[in-house]
Structure 1
Amino acid sequence: MSQPKNSLVVRALLKGLLLLALCGLAGAGWAAQVVGTVVQLSGPLLSKKADGVVRILSMRSEVESGDMLVTEKNTYAMVKFIDNSEITLKPGTTFKVENFSYDAGKPEADNASFNLVKGGLRSVTGLLGKRNKEKFAMKTPSATIGIRGTTFIADIVEPGEEAVASRLAYNLASTAALDRLAAPVQPLMLAQLTLPSPTAARAPGLYVQVLDGLIHVTNPAGTSNFSAGQFGYTPSFRTPPVILPVNPGIQFTPPPAFSQSTGPSSSTGPGKSNIVDCEVR
């Protein structure tokens, strides 16, 4: 009688091990895809995962699809993606890899969707952008940038405290003027508002500079194309992009080491990092 019982125990153990193995494979299948590697870094760089885990990245750290990258005050960071494209973030930038998918043998599955939340970056097109330009999209608060085999700089200028206060006061005064029950607003009240001087600093909005190739900047108000050597500006989603005659003050100056070779390239995926990243939960 003991032999059949032992056989049942062994079978149960085997089933349990098989179930654990299948669960492990399923978990691996759902894991975020590694899409790039940090190849240049001049200071602290944080990565926030979809599950809320925050990692402190270092040289050769892996970047996954869905990661939100944040550079600190004095940090430039370059990420090289698996299609050999490069994104260099300037200090004070928040940038999300919304969805990135590249397989050399499956061009129909290409996808490069990014979101520049704040700050600025330089983008160098890789293999994905060269064969499927329409699959690349760089979202910003003012417009979405598309490419045509390009190297470009995108820079977001946020409104300062003075500009926000002035705009709020203007909106309140305008609203009061339209309200019959409110106290009448005299023209002098609007004239006394202190609006930010356009010569003191760049106006808030999205600025672009094309170093090579062509980009198109699109929002609900319109679309404009910008070619190599041109500068563009888009204040908001409600205003179409326009070409600027000269550089409006875009500055993008990463350390000299960022211009050097980042090492052997690979279109199959980044090498496995030996660096252990610090996680903050």
Structure 2
Amino acid sequence: MKSLKKNHWTHAGRSLAMLCMALAMLAAAGAANAQSKVVGTVTHLSGLLTARHADGTRNALAVKSEILQGDTLITERETFTRVKFMDNAEMVLRPGTEVVVSKYVYEQDKPENDSVAIGLVKGGLRAVTGLVGKRNHDAVNFDTPTATIGIRGTNFGALFCQNDCGGVPTPSGSAPPNGLHVDVSQGAVILTNPGGAQVFQAGQFGFVANLNTAPLIVPPTQGVPVTMPQSISKNAPASGGASKASAVDCIVQ
């Protein structure tokens, strides 16, 4: 009798273990599928653009390459690129930029599920709001090393400097100080960090020195406009013989 009970519980334990393993495998598969979801496309490119995927693999991208949720996009020297997302939002990256597309959820008939999280690790970008930002602006955030940028239906630029912005043009002609610089062309953004929060309206410039310093509005004479070439009409191959930015009729403002 004891032997039967022992066998019964052993069998039950094995069944439970197998069930747990199956559930874990399903969860892992679901996470992998979520990370491999296509969320955008490279529409314009000048130079070398690389994607580091969530699984650690890397590959060079070209025009019409797909962007996956979880991808880290890396632009090399003299590389500009424009990405169009599934909700028609657009993002232009400067040379020497690293951006993580951490999350991009857009379902046309389910606005309550909207969620966009993009991280600017280094370099600079210019972003134009898509359908998510227009109908649910609280669902869109851009994280940076010094502050989180919330959008209010907008066209804005962000530049994070860490002794690498010497070539960026400024009104004074000197290199921008280290920290996060923003400018707003349309709409508004709100910058938030442990030091405080500040709303920036169209035409205003902002600066955040570090994570614990409150965002500041700065006058135009001290602001750093994150300018991009006007359009990209000549798309170079993603590797080998890539054209220089100076040779391109580049990007959106």
TM-score (norm 2): 0.74
Q: Could you list the per-position Cα deviations for residues 100-136 of structure 1 after superposition, in whole angstroms to 9, with x for gaps in the alignment?
A: 1101011111110010000000000000001110011
Query: What runs of 5+ residues in structure 2 fail to find an aligned partner?
Result: 1-24, 165-171, 240-253
Distance 2:212 2:29 in 1: 43
- Tell me if 1:254 matches 2:237: no
Distance 1:59 1:136 in 2: 25
Instruction: Work out which of the residue numbers 191, 199, 206 in structure 2 matches 1:225.
Output: 199
- Tell me if 1:62 matches 2:89: no
Instruction: Work out which of the residue numbers 201, 204, 212 in structure 1 matches 2:175.
Output: 201
Note if contact 1:144-1:219 (Cα within 8 Å) is conserved in structure 2. Answer: yes
Give 1:4's aligned residue. Answer: none
> Amino acid of the residue matched to residue 69 of structure 2?
S
> Amino acid of the residue matched to residue 95 of structure 1?
V
Question: Is the partner of 1:257 in helix, strand or coil?
Answer: coil
Give 2:129's aligned residue. Answer: 125
CA offset at residue 199 of structure 1?
8.0
Instruction: Work out which of the residue numbers 75, 90, 97 in structure 1 matches 2:94.
Output: 90
Instruction: Work out which of the residue numbers 115, 119, 122 in structure 1 matches 2:119.
Output: 115
Note if contact 2:105-2:116 (Cα within 8 Å) is conserved in structure 1. Answer: yes
- Tell me if 1:136 matches 2:152: no
Note if contact 1:153-1:210 (Cα within 8 Å) is conserved in structure 2. Answer: yes
Query: What runs of 5+ residues in structure 1 fail to find an aligned partner?
Result: 1-22, 161-197, 261-276
Q: Across the two proteins, how many residue pairs are aligned to each other?
A: 201
- Tell me if 1:99 matches 2:73: no
Distance 1:222 1:27 in 2: 40
Give 1:238's aligned residue. Answer: 212
> Amino acid of the residue matched to residue 117 of structure 1?
V
TM-score (norm 1): 0.67
Distance 1:47 1:60 in 2: 13
> Amino acid of the residue matched to residue 254 of structure 1?
P
Note if contact 1:86-1:126 (Cα within 8 Å) is conserved in structure 2. Answer: yes
Question: Is the partner of 1:52 in helix, strand or coil?
Answer: coil
CA offset at residue 29 of structure 1?
7.9
Distance 1:29 1:199 in 2: 48
Note if contact 2:125-2:226 (Cα within 8 Å) is conserved in structure 1. Answer: no
Question: Is the partner of 1:128 in helix, strand or coil?
Answer: helix
Select the structure that is richer in helix: 1
RMSD: 2.4
Instruction: Work out which of the residue numbers 43, 47, 52 in structure 2 matches 1:48.
Output: 52
CA offset at residue 256 of structure 1?
2.9
Question: Is the partner of 2:43 in helix, strand or coil?
Answer: strand
Q: Which moved more, 1:121-130 or 1:199-208?
A: 199-208
Larger Rg: 1
Give 2:243's aligned residue. Answer: none
